[in-house]
Structures are given as C-alpha cells and as structure tokens.
Amino acid sequence: MNGETINRDHGYPLRVVVPGVIGARSVKWLDSINIIKEECQGFFMQKDYKMFPPTVDWDNINWSTRRPQMDFPVQSAICTLEDVDVIKEGKARIAGYAVSGGGRGIERVDISVDGGKTWVEAHRYQKSNVPYVSDGAQSDKWAWVLFEATLDIPPNAEIVAKAVDSAANIQPEKVEDIWNLRGILNTSWHRIKIQNTSCVSRSKM
C-alpha cells in the first residue's frame, strides 16, 4: 500500500479491495475464500451497513427487510482547504476528488463559493494530458476523479463541492435528507467556511 508492505491495521498479510463498493466489503486479514451460492450470513452482511428509512429506530428495526449496502453513492471532497482557514484576498485553488460506485464515472463537479447560490463547473482529470470523459475507454471508472477550479473568494466564503455521476445521480444537499439509523453513507455536499485576510484585519481594528 503506497509502495510499502501493507501493515496490520490495514489488513496484513492480505486484503481484498473491492472497487466501487463500500469499504466494509474490502475484507481485512483474509485467510481463505469460499465460493457459495447464497449471500454470506455473517454479522456485517446481515446486521450492519444497511440503509433504513427515518421511521426505523432501534426498537422496531428488522434487519431482514433490507439488503446489505454494496455500491457507494456519488460523493466528492475538497482537499486543498479546511474549515476556518484564513486565505489571502483574491483567487484560490479549490481541488479535491470525486467518485461513484458501480463503475459509474463522474460527469460533473460543481463548485460554489457562496454556499450553493451560484456554481462553477470544475475541471476534471485522472491522467496528465488525457482528457477525462466519464464513460470514455481511457477513463478509469473505479478510481477517484480529481477536480480543480481557481475562483475569486469573497469575504467569509462558504465553499461547497457537489458531484454528478454518469447516471445523473447527484450528491444530496443536506445530511438531513439522507439520515438513517446507522448513520452510514453521509455523502451530502462538502462545505468549508473560510475567511480572507482582509476580513480578519478589519475585525482586529
């Protein structure tokens, strides 16, 4: 992993990595593989990592009514900035990654600097000097798609990223829209609140 022998915390001596599927299915500390006709009856397949509606709580849950979660939904994250960062007034590079499950490519990543009121489409790429096309033969459907945009940052900006995959699935705006009992797969818009130096200087006067 990252050019080194995988360590124990990440599954040494052997780990199965299942692309496009939630990390709970990428089994650690693998010592055998069994090919079976029926779905695995293990705890993490049958009584964990399942999506339930908001009406379900720990008193009325019935695990058998839902299938195990497999594909992960479309998601994106900003990696160049963090909450409460203070940046110089002017333009800033906003970059990160987007990915979707099931072999679906990333059709678009939108960036907002005003909390989602207006949007700019980010540049997407995977390989240098190779145009990224969400369903293109040279694009890797099972890997992150990187994105970037250089934008003017207003005072007290709220920067937001949201991705759209090749099946037109869109990241939900708020965690409340996808709340579930287990709290899994919170893929709502990634939001970062920052200040620029001009605002900080004025506030200290």
Q: For 98-110, write each residue's pLDDT tens digit.
A: 999 999 999 999 9
Q: DSSP strand E in the chain: where?
A: 75-78, 86-87, 90-99, 106-112, 120-121, 123-125, 145-153, 158-165, 190-193, 195-196
- Rounded Cα distance between 6 and 192, Å, is 32
- Mean pLDDT score of the chain: 90
Query: SS3 of 19, please?
Result: coil
Query: SS3 of 72, please?
Result: coil
Q: For 8-41, write each residue's pLDDT tens digit.
A: 998 888 888 888 898 888 888 888 888 999 999 9
CB atoms within 10 A of CB 123: 12
Q: What pLDDT score was predicted for residue 146?
A: 97
pTM for the complete prediction?
A: 0.85
State the distance between the two ends of the chain, measured CA to CA, in whole angstroms: 50
Beta bridge partners of 75: 99
- Rounded Cα distance between 103 and 57, Å, is 32
Instruction: Give the pLDDT mean for 58-71.
Output: 94
CA-CA-CA-CA torsion sign (67, 71, 75, 77): positive
Instruction: Give the pLDDT mean for 168-195.
Output: 91
- In the numeric block, the tokens 């579930």 are attached to 180
Instruction: Give the pLDDT mean for 186-201.
Output: 80
| Length of the chain (residues) | 205
What structural domains and CATH numbers belong to the chain? Answer: 74-199 (2.60.40.650)
Sheet of strand 106-112, all strands in order from the earlier edge strand to the far edge:
120-121, 106-112, 158-165, 190-193
Whether cis (ω within 30° of 0) applies to the bond prior to 131 is: no
